[in-house]
A and B are shown apart, each in its own frame.
Chain A
């Protein structure tokens, strides 16, 4: 791989200020939609993301985990300003993205990229791999046209594909290989931050592991920061330094990876852990677990108070009335639950973590 990439990556990561690479404060994303009114139009609001704050240091991976509709993908997209937040600020290397005009934002995007969930669908089927990976190089005017092919070949090598892929089309590749192309495309502009939106959930397990290994190697070589979005706690746990658990548009728990997996505080985090099917028959038969009842309420009308109270075995009057704020509860956990300490002690959903046998 080229030395240019390494140097560029280093330069970007040794920022002058000690501000975090990415700082998200009070992010709210609401979508206004036409409601179901039969005669008169009604207006309803989808509360996709409702007050999310986190920061991401350079060379760090923050996992965002939650079920469908919890707002994790919206958070990821908004973090790159691919969508405008309703309110809230996003700072990249200290710069407030809302203060930037279109050109400045485009320039800044060189440093922040995204890899999408659907490896095949996210690539234009009419473009060759060379065009796909070369496109960002042209857009940002990084590599003169004459040298572009060579650079694309370098990138292909970086993600473990043969150089002769340049002139082939996406349909000639498997899902895992397409995801490698997607990663090469994101890496083309030498970003410091990559949002990985469910990068392996469409892939088979044996291929999943290959892509996760590649992402980890790339992070070590290029000093990348990842915002790793996924629904699979096991995958998030392998990739992340810190993990934020989301439920209905809010972060309910945010902690260091090992600490979260050893001892989750929020009842929802516990429920999520206990629902994961464990690939170990004795353990899955012996482990005491309770399946959380009910379903995620509609994000059109999120429940008042704690959004998990409709399914929480510990819920009391206070949970219905008063919204719990994210607060430090010890062990470096930030938890949004009135009864976090009690929940951690009793763990109403059973022991979460697999013991290596």
Chain B
């Protein structure tokens, strides 16, 4: 029904063909209108995700990575508004869908894994009720069917004794188990796409490893397209195929994981990679830092947002915003003075 509405809609792009991205975001802008100022949280974000591909979005706090994730399913909290851009999912522009169709997609074809496993489950209803709600809304399953399907789902995410767990309330589960339940809920309607917003930030490192292993496994098993929002470059290195580096609401650099780590081109990426504390065999007493603080994105200033902290800054950086330009196949960077080789940056 809703699909018919879509196909007759003028201006809708041709349906996705083979090899076309599952999700494509073009020039997305999100801003928050406050009383005295406007926060430009996302400015001109473009990215795409193919089936079976894990795209990492990295950035520090305030870089706009979480807002980007939320806007992809049109869940930007008030007073945030998507002020421009297009988001195509399987060929349909999500920003032009009526809300009812959008609701079918959220939790249906696109599963969300939020950051905080403690507060993402309703504390006063059982695990089973969570599943029943999703499964009856999207798939129209009855109580019994939903229960059976929930047991299957819990088993598939590695929860022992799922039948007992279903009758329990969220507080009875550990953080890791709660995150598994949330993943099972996201997977409940066999989505085509998963968006995970810092899925392991609240978890311990050994549990984090387990959850990420599960994430990889699900993506592969169901050939999902996945977006993994994280601040941790280690997670990107191990669990993503391509990366988008964000800073102050803008994409600074995007590349395959290998290209980004082997040949980072944006000075911010280079700096970020250097800052990450590493497990080295001998103690390093040198701390690489990026001087200064991340900017407030309350004004849309001309020039590169990283310019005030950048070692390679030139006059042009302060007056003209660099566009995202391809410097190698599948490797784009928004910088007037990109780093040619990492050795050059060290000097």
- Complex formed: what's the CA distance from A30 to B37 in Å? 51
The reply to whether B282 and A258 contact each other, CB–CB distance below 8 Å, is yes
Is B64 part of the contact surface with A, judged by Cβ < 8 Å? no
A354 close to B238 (CB less than 8 A): no
For chain B, the bracket of interface size reads 35 or more
Contact A279 B261 (CB under 8 A): yes
Residue contact A237 to B238, C-beta cutoff 8 Å? no
| Residues of chain B within 8 A of A330, CB atoms compared | none
The answer to whether B205 and A67 have CB atoms under 8 Å apart is yes
Q: Which residues of B contact A295 (CB under 8 A)?
A: 174, 176-177, 207
Which residues of chain B are within 8 angstroms of A346 by Cβ–Cβ distance? none
Supposing A209-B288, A216-B287, A295-B174 touch, asked if A280 and B237 sit within 8 A by C-beta, the answer is yes
- Cα(A348)–Cα(B208), bound, Å: 19
Q: Give the residue of A216, A279, A356 whose beta carbon is less than 8 angstroms from that of B234.
A: A279
Is A292 located at the chain interface by the 8 A CB criterion? Answer: yes
Measured between alpha carbons, how far is A207 from B261 in the docked complex, in Å? 21
Asked if A237 contacts B237 (CB within 8 A), the reply is: no
Across-interface contacts of A352 in B (CB, < 8 A): 279
A282 within 8 A of B: yes
By a CB distance below 8 angstroms, the chain A residues around B275 are 205-206, 208-209
Interface window among B139-147, B289-297, B322-330: B289-297
Q: Does A300 touch B at the CB level, under 8 Å?
A: no
- Give the A interface residue count (CB, 8 A): 52
Chain B residue numbers with a CB within 8 Å of A161 are none
Q: Mark A32-66, 1 if CB is under 8 A from B, else 0.
A: 00000000000000000000000000000000000
Residues of A within 8 A of B176 (CB): 295
Residue of A176, A234, A296 near B278 (CB, 8 A) is A234
Chain A residues whose CB sits within 8 angstroms of the CB of B237 once the complex forms: 277-281, 283-284
Chain A residues positioned under 8 Å from B61 (CB to CB) = 204
- How far, in whole Å, are A204 and B257 apart by their CA atoms in the complex? 21
Q: Across the interface, do A354 and B287 meet the contact criterion of CB distance under 8 Å?
A: no
Query: Is B12 an interface position by the 8 A CB rule?
Result: no
B204 touching A216, Cβ below 8 Å: no
The CA of A217 and the CA of B113, in the complex, are separated in Å by: 41
Does A315 sit within 8 A of B, measured CB to CB?
Answer: no
Asked whether A174 is an interface residue with its Cβ less than 8 Å from the other chain, the reply is: yes
Does A100 lie at the interface of the complex (its beta carbon under 8 Å from any beta carbon of B)?
A: no
Complex alpha-carbon distance, A271 and B210, angstroms: 12
Inter-chain contact A235/B289, CB cutoff 8 Å: no
- Chain B residues contacting A356 (CB-CB under 8 Å) are 280
Task: Tally inter-chain residue pairs, CB-CB below 8 A.
Answer: 146
Question: Contacts of A277 on B, CB cut-off 8 Å?
Answer: 208-209, 212, 232, 234-235, 237-239
Q: Which residues of A contact B207 (CB under 8 A)?
A: 67, 295
Does residue B284 face the partner (Cβ distance < 8 Å to A)?
yes
- Nearest residue (CB) in B for A271 is B206
- Say yes or no: is A213 at the interface (Cβ < 8 Å to chain B): yes
Contact A257 B283 (CB under 8 A): yes
Complex interface bits, B277-315 against A, C-beta within 8 A gives 1, otherwise 0: 111111111011111011000000000000000000000
A205 to B272, CA, bound (A): 7
Tell me the minimal C-beta distance from B50 to chain A in angstroms: 19
Tell me which residues from 27 to 44 in chain B have a Cβ below 8 Å from any Cβ of chain A: none
- Whether a CB of chain B sits under 8 angstroms from the CB of A238 is yes
Of residues 137 through 158 on chain A, the ones whose CB sits less than 8 Å from some CB of chain B are: none
Residue of A nearest to B176 (CB): A295
Residues of A within 8 A of B277 (CB): 205, 208-209, 212, 232, 234-235, 237-238
- Of all chain B residues, the one with the shortest Cβ separation from A352 is B279
**A281 and B293 contacting across the interface, CB-CB below 8 Å:** no
Q: Which residue of A lies closest to B63 (CB)?
A: A204
Most buried by B among A207, A216, A257: A207
Question: Which residue of chain A has the shortest Cβ distance to B284 in the bound complex?
Answer: A238
Q: A209-B288, A213-B289 are in contact. Are A281 and B280 (CB under 8 A)?
A: no
A204 surroundings in chain B (CB, below 8 A): 60-61, 231, 294
Which residues of B sit under 8 angstroms from A280, Cβ to Cβ?
237, 261
A240 to B206, CA, bound (A): 22
Contacts of A265 in B (CB 8 A): none
Determine the distance from Cα of A279 to Cα of B290 in the docked complex, in whole angstroms. Answer: 18
List chain B residues, Cβ under 8 A from A262.
Answer: 281-282
Task: Look across to chain A and name the residue whose beta carbon is closest to the beta carbon of B291.
Answer: A210
Can you offer 19 A-B residue contacts whose CB atoms are under 8 A? Answer: A67-B204, A209-B290, A216-B287, A231-B204, A261-B280, A261-B282, A262-B281, A273-B279, A275-B206, A277-B232, A277-B234, A279-B233, A279-B236, A280-B237, A281-B238, A284-B238, A353-B279, A355-B281, A356-B280
Extra contacts besides A204-B294, A277-B237, A277-B239 (9): CB < 8 Å:
A177-B293, A216-B287, A238-B283, A238-B287, A261-B283, A278-B237, A278-B278, A281-B238, A295-B174
Q: Which 6 A-B pairs have the closest CB atoms?
A: A277-B234, A234-B277, A284-B238, A67-B204, A204-B60, A206-B290
